[in-house]
Amino acid sequence: MSVSTLTNELWFVESKFQFGYCYVNGIGIEVNKEKGFELYNEAAGKICIIQNENEEEIVNDLDKIF
């Protein structure tokens, strides 16, 4: 995953998290805790996917070196 792609993915995850926070706390929008936690979970799931992809790339790179 390129740095640019990773940056975009992380920005997207941060946006989902922040939007979820707004829903849970009623910031600029009517409180909807269910929707807020749905967005929190989407953000957390995406972080796990990004982390796993990066770990696979690191392992592949190490395999090439050794």
Could you state, in order of their start, the residue ranges of all structural domains in the chain? 3-65
| pTM across the whole model | 0.66
Residue-level pLDDT at 47: 75
pLDDT value for 66: 55
pLDDT at residue 52, rounded to an integer: 67
Residue bearing tokens 């996917």: 49
* pLDDT confidence bin for 34, thresholds 50/70/90: very high
**Helix pair angle (33-65, 3-25), 10° resolution:** 160
DSSP state of 26: T
How far apart CA 41 and CA 2 sit, in angstroms, is 25
With H, G, I as helix, E, B as strand and everything else as coil, classify residue 66: coil
> CA–CA separation, 5 vs 46, rounded Å?
13
